Amino acid sequence: MNLKDWLKPGLKIKRWVFLGLIGMILVGIGVHPMMGKILGEGIDVYYYPILFIIGMMLIGIAGQKGLLSILILMDTPKGETRYRNRFDEKLYKKRVLNKGPKVVTIGGGTGLSVLLRGLKNFTSNITAIVTVADDGGGSGILREDLGMLPPGDIRNCILALADTEPLMEQLLQYRFEEGSLKGQSFGNLLIAAMDGISNNFEEAIQKINRVLAVTGQVLPVTTEDVTLYAKLKNGKVVKGESQIPMKVKEFDSEIDQVFIKPDRVKPLPEAIEAIHEADIIILGPGSLYTSVIPNLLVPAIAEALKKSSAVKIYVSNVMTQPGETDGYGVWKHIEAMIHHLKYQVIDYVFVNNEEIPKAVLERYVKDGAEPIKLTQKERSLLLRNGIQVIEGSFIDIKKQYIRHDAYQLSALIMKLITEEKYAMDKKRIWDYSFVSDKIKNMEKIDSQ
């Protein structure tokens, strides 16, 4: 290999080797008078200790950065050869992702965790703010028995952003099928155990984030014990997140509004800071009244959203939710958020326009759900309220379950934010060359 080839940009390990060599020379000058006379002729003796300290600092920096590059290189799975070689690609992506847009997602449930799996392919700067109003299933049992916050939605989001092996993910998602733990997931128990050895729930989640090497951070919207209530249009009040859909069906009355008790809870300071610093804030997808809106009922979260200069996006659900959003269109979802926030904050709404296969759709229709389609009237209402509509094929069907296509949806969101920020400030532009082919292919499909 000639000098020209050696100097080509690559894994960026050579720069740390070079820096380390400079540090060693400075250390040598600082500790050896003879070397000082040879290499540092004319240098005052009083500068030797300073050169020694500087040299040690350079060696430390070179060692740390070089080791990090090697560890990332060793973490690369075999068979990836797209960017010079499989090692370069992994290192390149991680460096690019660390400089990606600051994304805040607000919600809970399956919808949010699905989206997070897509977003982590484009940026490492993700903060997921998750509802803690869940009181059903395994989370509800742990909440009642141990007096802890419900871990279910937080667990799903942590796993979505975690850098774990498939076997580890299967283990954390495993639900016991017999005995007193029947229906409980191992991941919930892990969080409960971590809560038991931590000073508080917030600290427990921070530790889980570190243990599972989470991309970004997952935060509960508050660490206070809150209960979700729903006031129905017939005047009745329903207590408990898990009871709301059932009582809506039982009383055959729509939800008028939801609220929490206590109503003046404080959010985590990290959540407010993330909103203030965000480039993008994404609401949804997920259950409107029981996953998304409960976060907006925390006063400081609502105020931070109002003040934030970030691009705010609502990802519309693909299907209505029986007992919660029966008969709702895109506009009615956003109208409900405006009603609870007392103002309009959404800049863009992403809406699926792909037809759902009949066989899959019939299964959902039997349960009372129906596709959420954008009408011309709704389009006019959205535009009148300053909301731009982005339509696309956003569904991914697996095992007869309808989910959002997380990768495709995330790619288009990143494309949007890149264009938005570039228009406002040409210095704020992110490099997504390693996914540009995917975006180009999607644009070709959309134009056909």
For 60-108, what is each residue's pLDDT tens digit? 888 777 776 666 555 444 444 444 444 455 555 666 778 789 999 999 9
Binning pLDDT at 50, 70 and 90, where does residue 273 land? very high
Query: Number of C-alpha atoms within 13 angstroms, CB side, residue 197?
Result: 8
Q: Which residues are 238's β-sheet partners?
A: 230
CA dist 428 and 96 (Å) reads 14
Predicted local distance difference test score (pLDDT) of residue 177: 86
Per DSSP bridges, beta strands 395-398 and 388-392 are: unpaired
Q: Which of 146, 92, 111, 154 is nearest to 129 (CA)?
A: 154
Residue from 232, 179, 225, 173 nearest 201 by CA = 225
Closest CA to 101 of 442, 424, 443, 437: 424
Under DSSP, is residue 51 helix (H, G, I), strand (E, B) or coil?
A: helix
Angle among Cα 313, 406, 116 to the nearest 5 degrees reads: 70
> Is 5 a residue whose pLDDT tops 60?
no
Among 34-43, 88-97, 322-331, 397-406, where is mean pLDDT lowest? 34-43
DSSP output for 113-133 = HHHHHHHTTT-S-EEEEE---
Q: How far apart are CA 252 and CA 232, in angstroms?
A: 9
Q: What's the predicted TM-score (pTM) here? A: 0.77
Cis ω before 49 (30° cut-off from 0): no
Of 75-79, 318-322, 332-336, the least confident: 75-79
